[in-house]
Structure 1
């Protein structure tokens, strides 16, 4: 019999937490993700079937157990706690039926939350995204170091970075190196 163990995007059994100066970089592994794309002419019907209103360009919405952020024209990522919504994509597909295409994304992405007083300084070294102008609930698709990523402003001094899982080690290295450069 196989004895499989889930590993974090960084290849460990437990999520990594690094504190450097005033910054804390935390590997987040308890989130389920599903992408959703409205089908032609189905936007209004889709919106009526979902448990939360879909956000506008560059924004996020949270309602109940679900959050959503805009990823492209008529496309969003839905986020929920993995323990309660392990089969998130299936749940969402049941809700929306033929109004949208839904794809499981949980293991395709990594997420690092960065918090602390030097948040702006860190991201100004890594990205051209206007982090100082971002407010709570803003999301930007751009680059961090040389990697494509979403930057999601969670609070005044708290940012989530979501990138392809295959780049987790490179992203983590970039975050750590930048944090050490300002510590």
Structure 2
């Protein structure tokens, strides 16, 4: 006859085997996905002025950034400093903000819109920039983003600012690097 203490612990080996088996079959990513909390990777969007001569100042602000994947919005957190950027400082890539991708997302569509009005200073001439048409759109892959955890928009100022009636007009000429 078994003692009461022996029958009380009889279920323990089965429980340990069951726990060990389930622990081997489930990764942390599977658990988070099952719980509805996907693993998110953060990536930056930056902008840098290029070919700024003869401008002393080119002041532009970020109006809106949309990051989507297959038409679904991706969480984007804008940088408060992106509201007033001097793009004539070609040695600095201004942070527009960060977006957060679930691991299963393999590419994103990014649209950057500038504020409607900016300003410039060129020698003794200063004026406004009409940036209403200042939109930059591109697609980026996860593989490219993972190289440096950021994407940088290089805005070619000499090729992007055109004389207008009492102002300059921004028609962005840019290239994208990762």
TM-score range, shorter-chain basis? under 0.3
Using the size of structure 2 for normalisation, the TM-score is 0.23
Structure that is richer in strand per residue: 2
Using the size of structure 1 for normalisation, the TM-score is 0.23
When Rg is computed on C-alpha atoms for both structures, the one with the higher figure is 2
